[in-house]
Amino acid sequence: MSFAARTLVEALAGPAAITDEHGRILVANARWRQSGPAEGDVLTRTDQDCPAHNRLPDLIRDIRPPADAVLTCRCGPVPATTIRVSGLESTCGAQRRLIVAEAATSDASRQQFLALLGHEVRTPVTTVVAAIELLRAQTLPSDVRETVDSMHRAVHGLRLLTDDLLDLARLETGTLLTRPGPVTVRDLLESVAEPLQQQTREKGILLLAAREPSLPPVVEGDADRLRQVLAAVVGNAVRYTDRGEVVVTARADGGDAYLIEVSDTGPGIAGEDQERIFEPFVQAGFSAARRHEGAGLGLALARRLTRCLDGTLTVRSEPGHGSWFTIRLPLRPLPGPAGPGVRTPIRTRVAVAAPTLRSEEALAWMVTAAGADAVRVSLDDVIAGRSGTSVVVWCDDAHDPTAAERAEAILAAVGDSGRALMVSATDPRTGVVRRTGVLSAPVTVDRLTAALHQQRTGVRGAPLPVVPLPPGRVLLAEDNEINRTVLRRMIGLMGVDCDTVVDGVAAVAALLGETRYDLALMDMQMPGLDGLEATRQIRAAGCRVPVVALTATALPEDREQCLAAGMDGYLSKPITLAELRRALLPYLTTPAPATTPPVPSGPVVPTDPPVATDPPVAAGPVVAPGPVVAAGPVENATPAAQPGPPEGSALSLVQLHELEAQLEDRELVAMTVSTFLAELSGRRQGMTDALGTGEHNRLGAIAHTLKSSSALLGAGPLADACARVERLAAAAVDAGVLAAAVAEVDRAAAAAEIAMTVYLHAG
């Protein structure tokens, strides 16, 4: 029998075995083997006077999948033992039977087993993860690198499975807690869809997520648990869909509930499996030769979590026609923005076209959220000039040669003053469409709005929208000059005054001084007095100014350290304008002024750009309690623009161009890059010297500073290489491993230097 089958029976708390239709035991767990027949034996009638045991062989022979039957045995040491016999389907045509004996006390045994799993599995997994990380930090041949990356993905999957099992244990013991709070529906949907971008791009699946305009934008709920439920359902849909689309929508139910619906064009689910898939360790059409990975826990956990949220999770499906999952939740609206949540709405009619009614509806809702009047039309009407508008957004595949022909026809139809934007299911950077704007799905409303403003034939376009904040004053404590300057600039763009200091000592003095601050942004790692100790000191002095940490590590323990020190939340670097706005907004409560473009306060010095990512959802003042997930850039934003760089390139020009738009200052970005290059040689030499003298702390500190600046400027490979050095220096690994990591930084720095020089000379 397969490893999956043995894993299934070993996961069951009571004695369990799988047999063939004649009663021959193919695989059994340890509890079965303690007192039952061995693997290879055939179950027969017993000499003891027990109707259940004597009926068992006949039941095994007669039962047909997917039926099951239950016997009650009273001859054992436990007063009542339930013996369940289930028929299993097999793609090879062989009949299989699952026999599970579960005593009245087995619930407690199962809960104990799942609770112990956290320690018994995580302990060896931690060792494996550390070993793989060390391997990934070295220069490896391409075939070995591929093997190590596969190991990394597999271990990551095992960690997720462990977390699911632990949550299942908490549900069964009643110890799982929910934390109601405000949930921004659009952010919830987008935060679930965006991490699946790589999977959907590789498959060529169109993934869209949208909120119905009539649904209140903010509702009460547990944002983390809702995200967990939705991630399981949407991830399941993406896993089983090989072509077509997955569409996620949230809509009002016409009463006291709202619906989150996930539809796909996958293979569908047979009627007899539509309830079984919500049971633990069950997949539709289970067999040892499954095409899709997974332990069968995601949907089971999602349904139970939904019940904890006073909701329901159901499915309707037909084989060959996809599936439609519906999450129904209580509707408890909370105060939120009444209009479009964008600074510069698209005040015009926009024609929308997509492959199906579902995707067309979702795309139209997103265009409406951007402030436009969406008109749902067919591509034929657009190409024929019958759309009634010169702005068009449509879904297509940037790798399809016929898509390039459609794009040309649409451009001709909208004319020189029109705008045409494709939402592509595949990566547009390697596609064949060049002359229209292209966004990679899934898209966010903010990215869609920015792209529609920018995408005009021959025109660079309007700057990325910046929503102004209520007036206030923020103290920024950051030792990295580049980070300090760009964050100050971003805060100023939102109409907020910002004072800066370079270390924790100065931060304490400023917060305990005469100036009143609404919020302090505190870097966790500063020389002398770090952010944590600085916060402890200001709290001990009675200062209650809110403090939000800035951290580049995004480790799980960061949040606990921040809260224990007296901080109010933390924000993971690199930081976008939208993320920064989310961090500041809860602490700036005065009504916002008129929407004139804000003027940054104080002089601005050259700095680094933030990475082009869309922000994760944060429910409440504790901002971004996890790593930021990268979102797809606005590729080919204008006909004259170069396509984004391929994966693994030294520098993201798309990111630098988006920074120009965000800061509304190309010269400032160029000066920032020049400053970075001027400091790069000294930092590389400093790392080499620290390596030679064995000063691991100094080496890690230089790598940390260079990592942060590189990430902000779009030098991803260099940032990654610095992060490895920082990790390894802290772990005090073998000198040879550390030397190899520093050599990788040198190579990445040389490539970044060339790419940045080209950027500066391109003007």
- Which range is least confidently modeled, 2-16, 215-229, 533-547? 2-16
Residues in Cβ contact with 621 at an 8 Å cutoff, skipping those fewer than 6 apart: 546, 568, 569, 586, 587
Sign of CA dihedral 66, 70, 76, 77: positive
Q: Taking residues 569-576, what's their average pLDDT?
A: 73
H or E element, residue 477: strand 473-477
Residue range 264-285, pLDDT digits in tens: 999 999 888 888 888 875 555 5
Confidence grade of residue 567 (pLDDT, cut at 50, 70, 90): confident
Round to whole Å and give the CA distance between 391 and 370: 13
Chain centroid offset of residue 100 CA: 37
The Cα diameter of the chain in Å comes to 93
Task: Classify domain 666-761 by CATH number.
Answer: 1.20.120.160
Q: Return the bridge partners of 295, or none.
A: none
Q: Is the pLDDT of residue 92 over 80?
A: no
The pLDDT of residue 51 is 75
Strand boundaries in 47-171, DSSP class E? 68-73, 81-88, 96-103
- Which range is least confidently modeled, 167-176, 349-358, 438-447, 644-653? 644-653
Round to whole Å and give the CA distance between 289 and 292: 9
Task: Classify domain 349-454 by CATH number.
Answer: 3.40.50.2300
* Burial call 430-451: b when 16+ CB within 10 Å, e when fewer: ebebbbbbbbbbbbbbbbbbbb
Round to whole Å and give the CA distance between 103 and 75: 12
Pairing of strands 373-376, 218-221: unpaired
Average pLDDT, the chain: 76
As given in the structure block, the two tokens for residue 566 are: 């007296």
Residue 268 in contact with residue 321, Cβ under 8 Å?
yes
Do the domains at 349-454 and 473-628 have one common CATH topology? yes
As given in the structure block, the two tokens for residue 161 are: 């499975």
Helices in 371-499 by DSSP H: which ranges? 379-383, 401-414, 445-454, 481-493
Strand, helix or coil for residue 412: helix
Round to whole Å and give the CA distance between 516 and 667: 33
Cis amide bond preceding 51, omega within 30:
no
Q: Which residue has the higher pLDDT, 696 or 163?
A: 696
Q: How is residue 273 annotated by DSSP?
A: G
CB-CB neighbours of 694 under 10 Å: 11
Q: How is residue 183 annotated by DSSP?
A: E
Residue 277 in contact with residue 314, Cβ under 8 Å?
no
Confidence grade of residue 525 (pLDDT, cut at 50, 70, 90): confident
CATH T-level topology, domain 108-173: Helix Hairpins (1.10.287)
Residue range 709-757, pLDDT digits in tens: 888 788 888 988 998 898 888 887 888 888 889 989 988 888 888 778 7
Q: Taking residues 84-103, what's their average pLDDT?
A: 64
Q: How is residue 195 annotated by DSSP?
A: G
Residue 319 class from Cβ within 10 Å (0-12 exposed, 13-18 middle, 19+ buried)? middle
CATH number for the 473-628 domain, one of 3.90.1150.10, 1.20.1340.10, 3.40.50.2300, 3.40.50.880?
A: 3.40.50.2300
Q: Which residue has the higher pLDDT, 91 or 226?
A: 226
CATH H superfamily, domain 3-104: PAS domain (3.30.450.20)
Round to whole Å and give the CA distance between 459 and 455: 7
As given in the structure block, the two tokens for residue 580 are: 């920064």
Residue 503 in contact with residue 475, Cβ under 8 Å?
no
Delimit the domains of the chain by residue range: 3-104, 108-173, 181-330, 349-454, 473-628, 666-761
Q: Which residue has the higher pLDDT, 302 or 527?
A: 302
The pLDDT of residue 322 is 94
Round to whole Å and give the CA distance between 753 and 748: 9
Q: Token pair 């064009």 is at which residue?
A: 265
Q: Closest by alpha carbon to 453, among 152, 647, 664, 243? A: 664
Residue 740: φ, ψ to 5°: -65, -40
The pLDDT of residue 394 is 94
CA dihedral 252, 255, 257, 263 (to 10 degrees): -40
Q: Token pair 């990325």 is at which residue?
A: 464
Cα-Cα end-to-end distance for the chain: 64
Round to whole Å and give the CA distance between 299 and 305: 10
The pLDDT of residue 340 is 54
Q: Which residue has the higher pLDDT, 542 or 137?
A: 542
Q: Is the pLDDT of residue 602 over 50?
A: no
Write the CA distances from 380 to 377, 425, 439, 578, integer angstroms. Answer: 8, 20, 21, 37
H or E element, residue 209: strand 206-211
The pLDDT of residue 636 is 36
Amino acid sitting at position 24: R
Q: Which residue has the higher pLDDT, 601 or 367?
A: 367
Residue 71 in contact with residue 56, Cβ under 8 Å?
yes
Round to whole Å and give the CA distance between 462 and 437: 14
Strand boundaries in 318-450, DSSP class E? 323-330, 349-353, 373-376, 391-396, 419-424, 437-440
Residue 419 in contact with residue 390, Cβ under 8 Å?
yes
As given in the structure block, the two tokens for residue 324 are: 């439609």
Residue range 530-540, pLDDT digits in tens: 899 999 999 88
The pLDDT of residue 109 is 55
As given in the structure block, the two tokens for residue 571 are: 């924000």
Q: Is the pLDDT of residue 389 over 60?
A: yes
Sign of CA dihedral 370, 371, 376, 381: negative
Q: Closest by alpha carbon to 233, among 204, 262, 205? A: 262
Residues in Cβ contact with 78 at an 8 Å cutoff, skipping those fewer than 6 apart: 103, 104, 105
Q: 242's torsion region: left (phi>0), alpha (psi -120 to 50) or beta?
A: alpha
The pLDDT of residue 759 is 75
CB-CB neighbours of 218 under 10 Å: 18
Residue 668 class from Cβ within 10 Å (0-12 exposed, 13-18 middle, 19+ buried)? buried
Q: Is the pLDDT of residue 616 over 60?
A: no
Amino acid sitting at position 530: D
Task: Classify domain 181-330 by CATH number.
Answer: 3.30.565.10
H or E element, residue 570: strand 569-572
Sign of CA dihedral 742, 747, 748, 749: positive
Q: 143's torsion region: left (phi>0), alpha (psi -120 to 50) or beta?
A: alpha
Round to whole Å and give the CA distance between 87 and 24: 14
Cis amide bond preceding 124, omega within 30:
no
Q: Is the pLDDT of residue 546 over 80?
A: yes
Round to whole Å and give the CA distance between 259 and 249: 8
Q: Is the pLDDT of residue 356 over 90?
A: yes
The pLDDT of residue 292 is 46
